[in-house]
Structure formats: C-alpha cells, structure tokens
Amino acid sequence: MRRRVANCFVLIERATGTIAGYYTLSGTSLLLTDLPQAHAKRLPRYPSVPAALLGRLAIATAYQNRHLGASLLADAAERASRADLAVFAVVTDPKDDRARRFYVKHGFTELPGAQPRLFVPIDSILRFFETQSR
C-alpha cells in the first residue's frame, strides 16, 4: 500500500476486533487480443482495456465456511464498479485449484492463453451477486 501498488480491504469481526478476512485490489489492463472474441468484439479497438486486479482474497481459518469469501468478492466487485476510473473486468490469478473453483463458481472464466488468469466482466459479476441476494 505504501508504494501505491494495491489497496487492502479488511473484514473485521466487530465483537472481537479480529481480522476475519481481506482482499487487495489494484489496477491492471487486459490486451484486447487476449479476451474471448465474444467480449472483444463489443469493446472499442484500443490495444488494452482497464481492469481491476484482485490480488489476494483470504479468509482466516476460524471464519471459513461462512460465505465470507463471497461477501468479500461482492464487495471488491462493487468497489471496482464505483471507481472513478473505468473498469471493464475483474481479474485474478488463483493460487491453487481450490481458489480457481471458488472464482469459477462466482462467474469467472479463463483468459485464453493466460492460465491460470481468470476474469469476469464487471457487469456480469454485479448481476451475479444481484441475483444471489434475491
């Protein structure tokens, strides 16, 4: 954070002040040629499009299996969508297969040729969480 490379957002349990989880967000870009054609054809013909990089998302062991990861992911998507700078998608590089399954469950797909990088258009993830809250 001091180097202004990423911002960290922390989930704290009010009763104890214990850190339950966190995530980091920073800016990145995606080459238009790396996007699936279905997405790329609807975008301006710039060499790259802006995205938010979800660098880390973690839940403390004592707080797992409470859907807090999904809550933090929804918060990250909402925060990215409200940013003053435009963001086309949220991107992440899952550290293992368990993390990959978590992101895929929440609408992320692989970027062709950029494994293990996953992405989801910001509009898609906002709709995903909107339908989940109904």
Q: For residue range 82-108, what is the model confidence (pLDDT) as tens digits?
A: 888 889 999 999 999 999 999 999 999
Identify the pLDDT of residue 22.
Answer: 97
* Amino acid making up residue 108: F
At 2, is the pLDDT very low, low, confident or very high (cuts 50, 70, 90)? low
At 25, is the pLDDT very low, low, confident or very high (cuts 50, 70, 90)? very high
Task: Kindly report the number of other CB atoms within 10 A of residue 39's CB atom.
Answer: 17
Q: For residue range 36-73, what is the model confidence (pLDDT) as tens digits?
A: 888 888 888 889 999 999 999 999 999 999 999 999 99
In a domain, 118, yes or no: yes
In a domain, 13, yes or no: no
Provide the domain count of the chain.
Answer: 1
Identify the pLDDT of residue 54.
Answer: 96
Query: Helix/strand/coil (H, E, C) string of the chain?
Result: CCCCCCEEEEEECCCCCCEEEEEEEEEEEEEHHHCCHHHHCCCCCCCEEEEEEEEEEEECHHHCCCCHHHHHHHHHHHHHHCCCCCCCEEEECCCCHHHHHHHHHCCCEECCCCCCCEEEEHHHHHHHHHHHCC
Identify the pLDDT of residue 24.
Answer: 95
Identify the pLDDT of residue 1.
Answer: 57
* Choice between 125 and 51, residue whose per-residue pLDDT is larger: 51
Task: Kindly report the number of other CB atoms within 10 A of residue 36's CB atom.
Answer: 12
* Amino acid making up residue 42: R
Average pLDDT of the chain is 89
Full-model pTM = 0.87
CATH of the domain at 84: 3.40.630.30
User: Above 70 in pLDDT, residue 114?
Assistant: no
